[in-house]
Structure 1
Amino acid sequence: MSEEINHPVQGSKYDKIFRENMHNTLPGIIKHVLHLNVNTVEELTDDVLFRK
């Protein structure tokens, strides 16, 4: 079973689910854990995330 979890395709499915849900969940987490109010959310493009 651990082989299934570590398989790249399986990991990709988890990444997709995580990304799809973070847009709605992250502001609540930030508010309740960090006590910050988020007014806007902006998705970063890959070139910003992986800039060398």
Structure 2
Amino acid sequence: MVMWVVGVWAGCGLLVALGLLVGALTERLGRGRRMQAMIDWTAAASRPEAADYTARAA
């Protein structure tokens, strides 16, 4: 009985640790994609034709 309780606790701890690891990795990947999108958007907005387009849109 005691070993069963210890096994359940260890299993839960392992699942939580695995979940935190996966969460950290996906957060890092997501942040990298968002950062790249922001860099792309800034580069596109700084082009001369982008200023012309925004002036026409306004």
Same fold (TM over 0.5): no
**Higher relative contact order (CA closer than 8 Å, sequence separation 6+):** 1
TM-score tier, shorter chain, comes to: 0.3 to 0.5
What TM-score do you get using the length of structure 1 for normalisation? 0.36
Computing the radius of gyration from Cα coordinates, the structure with the larger value is: 2
- Per residue, is there more helix in 1 or in 2? 2
What TM-score do you get using the length of structure 2 for normalisation? 0.34
